[in-house]
């Protein structure tokens, strides 16, 4: 059974979904843009039933979590610290970490900077940060796929465009087969006061000079990369060099899945996460 609670950490209060025995294997799941904790709902249920204690926060700026003002509040070092502070608040000295999209970027960076805190890492459809930086500089195709990110960095205009007609523009940033109730759930999350600007501030913060993040590029913890091959935003050619940055890695490719692999292959993703975290 999934419980919803607000967890006060050293730096911020995060709205979280929790499930499972608190003595179970600790797992933190990080959503991406423009998601919320419930993108992981099926995985939360499966992992907790298998014996894990699962925590899936609405990350800062999203849905019902705190929404600090200012672009500076969303630099990577702060996002990583949120994960550590959440784990500390729950008494997790070490934990398993999975992330999708922006959540995967945070997960990569957490493992780069604080490997001593991570038992195992799972990454869904986002490349290693160093690999992404290198490819986007030399690949016009990936630059085109990522062009929406530059639009999101503009002031004010993205908020106007994305919120029009009941957030219709977001339909391309979500799985195509969401039910009406699932769509309504997302619209409610995006409609929270200040949420849309805070969500976009993750992209805007990426352009700040202070965004440079200290940490070894090598990933030393056991890692699983799960990837939907039909991702329209991120090239499949990012997978192999990302895996090469990991000392111990398993790669799982879903041939027909899109960027939204948690949704498109929900059961298979759950099975692989259970195998990885509990193996």
Q: Which residues are catalytic?
A: 101, 203, 259
DSSP per residue, 57-115: EPPTTSTTS----SGGGG-HHHHHHHHHHHHHHTT-SSEEEEEETHHHHHHHHHHHH-G
Residues 6+ apart with CB under 8 A from 42: 262, 266, 267, 270
CA angle 237, 243, 247 (to 5 degrees): 165
Question: Count of CB atoms within 10 A of residue 254's CB?
Answer: 20
Q: What is the CA radius of gyration of the chain?
A: 17
3-class secondary structure, 172: helix
Which of 109, 158, 103 has its CA nearest to residue 126?
103
Alpha carbon distance 163, 31 (integer Å): 21
Q: How far apart are CA 218 and CA 129, in angstroms?
A: 11
């Amino acid at each position: 059974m999934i419980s919803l609670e607000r967890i006060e950490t050293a730096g911020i209060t995060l709205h979280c979904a929790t499930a499972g025995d608190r003595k179970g294997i600790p797992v933190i799941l990080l959503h991406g843009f423009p998601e919320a904790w419930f993108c992981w709902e099926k995985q939360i249920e499966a992992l907790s039933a298998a014996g894990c204690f699962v925590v899936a926060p609405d990350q800062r700026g999203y849905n019902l979590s705190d929404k600090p003002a200012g672009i500076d509040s969303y630099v990577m070092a702060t996002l990583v610290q949120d994960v550590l502070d959440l784990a500390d608040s729950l008494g997790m000295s070490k934990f398993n970490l999975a992330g999708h999209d922006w959540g995967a970027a945070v997960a990569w960076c957490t493992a780069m900077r604080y490997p001593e805190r991570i038992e195992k890492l799972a990454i869904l459809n986002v490349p290693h940060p160093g690999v992404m930086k290198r490819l986007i500089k030399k690949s016009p195709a990936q630059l085109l796929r990522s062009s929406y990110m530059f639009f999101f960095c503009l002031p004010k205009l993205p908020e106007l465009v994305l919120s029009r007609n009941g957030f219709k523009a977001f339909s391309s940033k979500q799985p195509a087969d969401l039910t009406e109730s699932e769509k309504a759930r997302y619209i409610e999350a995006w409609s929270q006061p200040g949420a849309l600007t805070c969500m976009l501030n993750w992209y805007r913060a990426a352009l700040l000079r202070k965004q440079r993040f200290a940490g070894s590029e090598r990933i030393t913890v056991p890692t699983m990369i799960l990837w939907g091959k039909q991702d329209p935003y991120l090239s499949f050619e990012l997978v192999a060099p990302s895996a090469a940055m990991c000392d111990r890695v398993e790669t799982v490719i879903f041939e027909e899945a899109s960027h939204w692999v948690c949704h498109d292959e929900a059961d298979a993703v759950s099975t692989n996460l259970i195998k990885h975290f509990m193996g």
